[in-house]
Structure 1
């Protein structure tokens, strides 16, 4: 591996914050080797953030000697705990302009054309839906001349397919775009955020052992079967004391420590609380995971918030739980927030932070005014709910049945809260890793 000399890096920091006020700021430039002519070229690095998503590194290489260029993106964060699957129904020109982050580990499918781009066959890209189509067309067209000489019949078939692929850019006929990424780092824009996107379905799934090997999370010679957790005294040890184990900070990757404790939630079940503190960058995370198995049925808890006193109710939101506020047309999908044991006010505050405070395009002039106003208005509505000025329904929909909301009237029934159980759908079982059948086979048969 070559070492980048300090004098080859122009700029005080490789990862600089984006700022509309800094007119002199430019992407960091690094002198690097051209893999086409093996002369020196220039790589430009830009760290940016996708709204309602996460940080990415945009890398652009150009060589003045042979004019070769290459652009790709990489995730600036870690591999997520679950894979993600985006299913977009493209029916208009506006859908073609949606921003898309497709990591190199993602599979792209268009079921109507029986078309698939396998993982690790393309570099990661920051583009649009139309840009993905253009990239697929360019990839198929580049070897057409050689195909016509070697096998004209195959070339003619590919040419017919290329016309079908190009016709999708007109948006005259609706089609489905599926991006499935086991790393969890791909993204498709929701232009209606923070409202639910009716054309876009986002689901999460557990990675298979084969996908973990592809991502480097499991050794190639490691058996596919997961080893059973050690029984017996270990569980009693977790109940009796706080366990500390070494890990790495998810922000700066410096060595850190994680504290873990198994606690009993009254009138519910056990949960594992984990807290990580980084002494280097100051980053802190608190996460809760259910200590029990997946329940036989899903659970939907609905609370009618009528007064500020409801803000103090204890709440356990598992990592598989979706949060809905129907009066605000708001829906937060499972895994958008990590599992946490908090209060109703704490959950609403986390939602506001996620949608408003942590959105890089709310401040400054980097976003359009209508979107900024809509997001800020949503934040004010959340404030009204917390202050008791607005009555809404808070819905915790957990297909794993591992979420909980305190009944303050116990042992009597809570007049403001309803708890329903329901049978999971095939897709929900697939997201929870409970199905043996592959999702794509199910979709093909239906």
Structure 2
């Protein structure tokens, strides 16, 4: 019970890093009923942390009477700020073998065959696309003998559908695999990392009220919108606000500090930092203090000197990063919002792609993939040491990212800033297409009268 109340010692020791050499990391065994033969079996629970992912609970059930086994995972971490949607154009057997992290709230779709697994109908799993299709096939085949006896026509149609699923599983037929998770905790592997995968599209989006309700989030933490207290930005400018929260690593009680900061020649931003006294975890995040700009911003810096790495960088959560010389692109949502230096941002990219990537470990990692990631890490080090000249591009459709101009207020000869009109898809990702502000003030006056 102490874990539920956020006891620092208990929560840090219960969720341990996954390791085959940790003798103390033993699963808890619980006697439970087998739903196949209704005899008693054993459920094993392991609370662990997956690198580059988050805390999970792995459960495995085994029945000695009938041999039935079942394995599931559940996320023990926090729900992400945005939902995520993966769309993969599956072309070969290699694509079918991609690893997938699928939570309870994720919806799986294959439009070509009108196939959908709704949210909350299956437990979470760490599997592959082939594993998801195989699980579906096995589920459809279970009741086929009974269907054939009661309704042969329905059974024949299901046999035809099973044959189509088998064709997709064997990689014989191209199809589109869509994984949509409003909790933001699902994942589809990119085997070409750190390069961009041309067949995989990752979209982060704002949840609707229905999706918030599905995952158990109530708007405004249960407060009445009419009871919200207005906060004056002038009152927050010189004050550091502090509010209680839980550590994202060990779930122990911690404090988050928040401060409003004015960036010269740019705008106001909100910096939030969390320090955990229990496990020592430290995190910081930056949010824009203003509205979404009317135009998107693309900033290109030609890094020609090691002194360029000391420039301040504000990367918002809607900003993507591109380094053409490395054929590298980091989509929006990755790394979150950051206020750091260019050197610090490059080190964060190296840690994210190379050092903390769980798909470089275990049987699923190939030597070819390891070599690509090591080569990418070496190139990042060459940039940090001033041995490689590259272009560093920040592309923010919300216009809330910033790269320091050391020549300000004069123009920087090595940096270009472009303003551009957002596309419909970019407005959709920012949630602007559904915002209706025309006649808002007039309608408010009518409602007040």
TM over 0.5: yes
In structure 2, the residue corresponding to 1:140 is in which secondary structure? helix
Corresponding residue of 2:197: 197
CA distance in 2 between counterparts of 1:120 and 1:226 reads: 29
In structure 1, the residue corresponding to 2:399 is in which secondary structure? coil
Corresponding residue of 1:30: 29
Structure 1 range deviating more: 34-43 or 327-336: 34-43
* Deviation (angstroms), 1:417: 1.0
In structure 1, the residue corresponding to 2:237 is in which secondary structure? helix
2:234 paired residue among 236, 242, 259: 236
**CA deviation map 1:331-372 (0-9, x unaligned):** 111111010111111111111111222235658998433322
Does 2:321 align with 1:323? Answer: yes
* Deviation (angstroms), 1:43: 1.4
Maintained 8 Å contact 1:361/1:372: no
CA distance in 1 between counterparts of 2:25 and 2:400 reads: 48
* Deviation (angstroms), 1:297: 2.1
Does 2:60 align with 1:60? Answer: yes
Does 2:264 align with 1:266? Answer: yes
CA distance in 2 between counterparts of 1:179 and 1:361 reads: 19
Structure 1 residues 436 and 113: alpha-carbon distance in aligned structure 2, compared to 1, 3 A threshold: farther
Query: Within 5 Å, which residues of 2 pair with 1:185-334?
Result: 185-218=185-218, 230-231=229-230, 233-334=231-332
Maintained 8 Å contact 2:325/2:390: yes
Query: Within 5 Å, which residues of 2 pair with 1:339-350?
Result: 339-350=337-348
Corresponding residue of 1:77: 77
In structure 2, the residue corresponding to 1:349 is in which secondary structure? helix
Maintained 8 Å contact 1:213/1:220: no
Output the TM-score relative to the length of structure 2: 0.86
The answer for unaligned runs of 5 or more in structure 1 is: 4-12, 438-446
CA distance in 2 between counterparts of 1:155 and 1:61 reads: 31
2:417 paired residue among 416, 419, 433: 419
Corresponding residue of 1:93: 93
CA distance in 1 between counterparts of 2:55 and 2:115 reads: 29
Corresponding residue of 1:104: 104
Structure 1 residues 330 and 380: alpha-carbon distance in aligned structure 2, compared to 1, 3 A threshold: same
Maintained 8 Å contact 2:16/2:25: no
Aligned length: 424
Does 2:41 align with 1:43? Answer: no
Structure 1 range deviating more: 261-270 or 419-428: 419-428
CA distance in 1 between counterparts of 2:132 and 2:364 reads: 24
2:388 paired residue among 387, 390, 403: 390
* Deviation (angstroms), 1:163: 2.0
In structure 2, the residue corresponding to 1:240 is in which secondary structure? coil
* Deviation (angstroms), 1:115: 1.4
In structure 2, the residue corresponding to 1:198 is in which secondary structure? coil
Does 2:183 align with 1:178? Answer: no
* Deviation (angstroms), 1:90: 0.4
**CA deviation map 1:106-133 (0-9, x unaligned):** 0001111121111001111111111111
* Deviation (angstroms), 1:420: 1.4
In structure 1, the residue corresponding to 2:204 is in which secondary structure? strand
Maintained 8 Å contact 1:27/1:46: no
Structure 1 range deviating more: 154-163 or 241-250: 154-163
CA distance in 2 between counterparts of 1:363 and 1:103 reads: 21
* Deviation (angstroms), 1:433: 1.9
Maintained 8 Å contact 1:273/1:287: yes
The answer for unaligned runs of 5 or more in structure 2 is: 4-12, 436-449
CA distance in 2 between counterparts of 1:208 and 1:364 reads: 37
Structure 1 residues 248 and 104: alpha-carbon distance in aligned structure 2, compared to 1, 3 A threshold: same
Corresponding residue of 1:162: 162
Output the TM-score relative to the length of structure 1: 0.87
Structure 1 residues 15 and 376: alpha-carbon distance in aligned structure 2, compared to 1, 3 A threshold: same
CA distance in 2 between counterparts of 1:324 and 1:219 reads: 35
